[in-house]
Chains A and B, each alone.
Chain A
Amino acid sequence: MATATTQHLLLSPAELAYLHSTLSLTPPIRPDGRLATQFRPLTAETGILPGTYGSARVCFADGTEAIVGVKADVEKTRRTRISPEGQNGRRQRRKRQIGDDVGGGEEEEEEEEEEESAIVGENDWVEMTVEILGHRDDDNSTVFLAAMLSEALLSDGELTKKLWINRRFHWKLYIDIILISPPLSYPLPLLSLTTHLALLSTRLPRLKSEADEDPMFDDDWAASQPIYPSSRASSSSRPPITLLVMAIGENIIFDPSKEELAVADSVLAVSVVEAAVAATTTTTTDDGDVDVDMEDDRKTRRRNLRLLSVRTVDPPSRLTAPGVPNAVNAAAWGQAPPGASAKDPGVETEDVEGVWRPPRGGAKMAVLSAMVQKVLEKGGIADEVLDGLDGVELE
């Protein structure tokens, strides 16, 4: 269980009780009138920072705004490092290298073959910093946000693979995420979508040198190559997205606002990536049909969605104080039975209609799996969000 101290929002017990009861209805009535699966409308643009390799800006209508810039450096690959993945293989290789240190020539050739067959990137080739206005950068919640975002980016190893230049050099990617307005809701999905767009718009100069020479790049920016090629047919993946999902009772609600989070039973951050599509299966011989098929294919094509991670986020609702029912409220005079004495308001009472009671205990497994299911299913939320993001013009 990760603790994300979302900004402490002070709400009165009566407000919490009201919000909880509206959100538990079927269908839930959200305070801003959205449907359970509806996101707040976004404004998005890419390529806004001329000094970066790729950038994006996303705004909510309420003024929450995030900017992401991606910069890249060429860095020497440290040879003797042991990566967390493939640890065993590397270690063996190193042993061998140490063993026949004298006849190095052959060994290197061998190794080259090995590396080319399986290019493996290192996680520290990507450095991510998150800055949230009004929060220290070593604040718990900021660090946790950064961890969740980079975890999603790095976990499938696709991004770091793309940063490999040759055996001696690699790109080092700096991703700077800035929330330039005070967070009005938990900013994770906003930052994730902005990062997604920034990475999609990121271009790196074309490599001119060959093999293991010192890398030389094409000066012509027009010839630069995007990290994530836009053509859908190519077998490239896309950057991941992380969505915030919350549950109240049986209701599953997407893109929760601050007030909604304050009464959530459980909150999940679900990271999803659209994995590489295997070779297209349409093998139509008829020339006339091909175009139509392609069109059709694009629309009905099942996205190859892969779940990268699921994190539970501690909902702030657990930290709230319970409401006091009228029956034991000494101050609500005219209501209390004559004998009732003032009770400590901190004492928990059993469920009374209209009185706030913070959720206790863990989330139900069935609800958690339903939340993940709702993200992943065909035509589900991740699908629609990715469709929406595809519609954003790149530069």
Chain B
Amino acid sequence: MAITILKPLPPANTQNAATAYNSDSDSDGGVDLEGDVSMMATALSSKPSRHVGGKGYDQAIVTPGEIITEDSQWMRGHGTYTTPDPYAIVASVAGTLVKTNKLLSVRPLRARYTPEIGDLVIGRITEVQARRWRVDVGASLLAQLPLSAVNLPGGIQRRRTETDELQIRTFFSEGDLLVAEVQQLHNDGGAVLHTRSLKYGKLRNGLFLAVSGTGGGGGVVRARRQAFTLDAGRAANDKIDVVLGVNGYIWISKHVEGEGAAAESAGPGITRVEESVGLNVYSSQNDAIAPETMREIARVRGVVEALVQHGTRVDEDTVTRGYNEAVEMARGDGDGPDTLYLGGERGKRLVDALKGR
């Protein structure tokens, strides 16, 4: 069948994502943040009782400008502001209400990325200027990548000359994807990036995927490792690099030995750039990739999309387990192990299996 047309789900089911979310704030504070379906249903049915009352389980969505409470015993947290007279706490973003002890905050449904120093991000060049690039990293402002913050060809640490400035497009030009690190933050929240390590640089040999925002429980979370290598079952040398940018941009590519962000730090560090060989940092030519590898890359992408769509966080653990689960599913489904599609019903089954439901 070429097309599946489903009936819309009743609204209660769409809230599942909220319950599946594992709050990172500690829930010892008397309020159970996990929520539970039956309680949530009651909260939804009695919608006007959105004001903070005795009941702590309000999973309903608040919208910007909505008064959350007029009771002055509460403190305002993220996503809210107060009005002095009459005193009220008002939501400033659309999202779910979170209570931690006496602190009220609103967890946004969707949010842009807020850069922090040291984040591994994936960005796309949108603009080329005289001495720097402007990079889209999914934040509210474009990030900057100065020419002085990239490794220049020639292998030696040297001054940036005018020739380099004139040739700026041979390093990165509009549309190019790169992996970089946030080096510095401006007061307005704009980030300055650098690629001064062989782990960073232009991306090739793979697929890009953007998962939006941080809200709703899905999306990339900061983890110990943002870049890792997956063993793609069949052929022994079939390895796939996955780079989970903290900004929600994801790169899935063929593993090339000694290259890319997932490479072990055993490689040359910042100080020893000049000694390394086989530098492909600015190449935009793909290597030869076997169809099997391409298939597994598409499968990993399907796994990530399914995770996001069903409100699960995306990190090394979930992607690895999800990928293995997907391989098993394809094998067991009878459609043959080459089935890659993980949308719709299959995606739901995959995520349910991951959660052990």
Indicate whether B38 reaches chain A with its CB closer than 8 angstroms.
Answer: no
Indicate whether A389 reaches chain B with its CB closer than 8 angstroms.
Answer: yes
Which residues does B use to contact A, with CB under 8 Å? Answer: 1-9, 124, 126, 153-155, 167, 169-171, 173-177, 202-208, 277-289, 291, 294-295, 298-299, 301-302, 305, 309, 339-345
Q: Which of A14, A30, A45, A392 contacts B177 (CB 8 A)?
A: A14
Residues of A within 8 A of B277 (CB): 334
Q: Which of A34-42, A82-90, A213-221 contacts B (4 or more CB under 8 A)?
A: A34-42
Residues of A within 8 A of B282 (CB): 329, 331-333
- 19 intermolecular pairs with C-beta atoms under 8 Å apart: A12-B284, A15-B206, A18-B206, A31-B301, A39-B3, A42-B6, A44-B5, A321-B175, A325-B285, A326-B285, A330-B153, A330-B170, A332-B153, A332-B282, A333-B279, A354-B287, A356-B284, A388-B3, A393-B7
Contact, CB under 8 Å: A33 / B342: yes
Q: Which of A21-29, A152-160, A162-170 contacts B (4 or more CB under 8 A)?
A: A21-29
Shortest Cβ distance from residue B57 to the other chain A in the assembled complex, whole angstroms: 27
Task: Write the A27-64 contact mask toward B (1 if CB under 8 angstroms, else 0).
Answer: 00111111101111111110000000000010101100
List of 7 A-B pairs having minimum Cβ-Cβ separation, nearest first:
A33-B340, A14-B204, A354-B286, A331-B282, A333-B153, A41-B344, A39-B3
Residues of A within 8 A of B7 (CB): 43-45, 393
Nearest CB in chain B to that of A393: its residue: B7
Contact, CB under 8 Å: A32 / B343: yes
Nearest CB in chain B to that of A254: its residue: B2
Contact, CB under 8 Å: B177 / A18: no
CA distance A333 to B3 in the complex (A): 48
Shortest Cβ distance from residue A134 to the other chain B in the assembled complex, whole angstroms: 15
Residues of B within 8 A of A21 (CB): 286, 289, 294
Residues of A within 8 A of B285 (CB): 14, 17, 323-326, 329, 332, 352, 354-355
Shortest Cβ distance from residue B352 to the other chain A in the assembled complex, whole angstroms: 16
Residues of B within 8 A of A31 (CB): 207, 298, 301
Contact, CB under 8 Å: A32 / B169: no
Residues of A within 8 A of B298 (CB): 22, 29-33
CA distance A35 to B173 in the complex (A): 33
Shortest Cβ distance from residue A379 to the other chain B in the assembled complex, whole angstroms: 10
Contact, CB under 8 Å: B288 / A13: no
In the complex, which range does the number of interface residues on chain A fall in? 35 or more
Contact, CB under 8 Å: A15 / B207: yes
Residues of B within 8 A of A37 (CB): 2
Q: Main SS of chain A's interface residues? A: loop
CA distance A354 to B285 in the complex (A): 5
Q: Which of B8, B9, B124, B173 contacts A321 (CB 8 A)?
A: B173
Nearest CB in chain A to that of B166: its residue: A342
Contact, CB under 8 Å: A33 / B302: yes
Apart from A10-B126, A34-B343, A385-B3, what 12 extra A-B contacts exist at CB < 8 Å?
A12-B176, A12-B204, A17-B286, A34-B340, A41-B344, A43-B6, A324-B284, A331-B170, A332-B283, A334-B280, A342-B170, A384-B3
Shortest Cβ distance from residue B279 to the other chain A in the assembled complex, whole angstroms: 5
Shortest Cβ distance from residue B198 to the other chain A in the assembled complex, whole angstroms: 12
CA distance A335 to B174 in the complex (A): 22
Indicate whether A337 reaches chain B with its CB closer than 8 angstroms.
Answer: no
Contact, CB under 8 Å: A329 / B3: no
Nearest CB in chain A to that of B299: its residue: A33
CA distance A323 to B205 in the complex (A): 13
Indicate whether A223 reaches chain B with its CB closer than 8 angstroms.
Answer: no
Contact, CB under 8 Å: A388 / B1: yes
Contact, CB under 8 Å: A335 / B288: no
Task: Write the A335-351 contact mask toward B (1 if CB under 8 angstroms, else 0).
Answer: 10000001001000000
